[in-house]
Amino acid sequence: MPTNVVLIGDRKLCNQETMLAFCRMEQSFLAAHPWTDTAKAVWVRTWQRVASGKTGLERGGIRQSQRNAQIGRKSHSVSGCAKWNKRCWTSRSKKRIACVGWFSWSSRKAEQDAKHRQRALEEAEQALQRIARLLGRYDYTHRSLIQSRIDQALKKAHAQAYFHVT
């Protein structure tokens, strides 16, 4: 196999057995890492380092989408990457393997996420206000039913992550 080959895959490629096999063969690969609790913790630490100025966000560039260029809109997307290094142990040979990871950030994706979050919060707030008006009436007298209606409303609004109801 040529030495300049990089295998590219999706999140399913990023499982420990496959990654270790590629590393043993010294095969370069690129894949999206599953968004696990460990990956989230590494992201939080990396973003804290970027925010505190200990490491920089490498500029990915400013670009305008083809669609925006066609309609004459002056909207641009700014992107960047933060790098993290990790040492992994192979299970059999106990050899250390260097892994390099990149977190990417896009201003357009951040704006999109903020809009979705805002819409979810507004829909959930309306649903919760409706439930609050119905408390003590009709079926809204039993705790378990009220809780299930709240859970349904938050799920429908895609806002479960933003509310903790007690």
pLDDT tens-digit map of 43-71 = 788 778 777 877 766 655 445 555 555 55
pLDDT at residue 58, as a whole number: 61
Percent of the chain with pLDDT over 70: 69
Q: What is the residue type of 108?
A: R
Q: Please check whether residue 88 lies inside any domain of the structure.
A: no
Output the six-digit token pair for 91.
């299970």
Q: Please check whether residue 73 lies inside any domain of the structure.
A: no
- Domain enclosing residue 122, as ranges: 113-162
pLDDT at residue 4, as a whole number: 78
Residue 161 backbone zone (phi > 0: left; psi -120 to 50: alpha; other: beta):
alpha
Output the six-digit token pair for 120.
């979810």
Q: What is the mean pLDDT of the chain?
A: 77
Q: Please check whether residue 59 lies inside any domain of the structure.
A: no
Instruction: Tell me how many domains the chain contains.
Output: 1
Of the chain, the end-to-end C-alpha distance in Å amounts to 59
pLDDT at residue 124, as a whole number: 96
Q: Please check whether residue 139 lies inside any domain of the structure.
A: yes
Task: Give per-residue pLDDT as tens, 67-97.
Answer: 555 555 555 555 566 655 555 555 555 666 6
The count of other CB atoms within 10 Å of the CB of residue 19 is 18
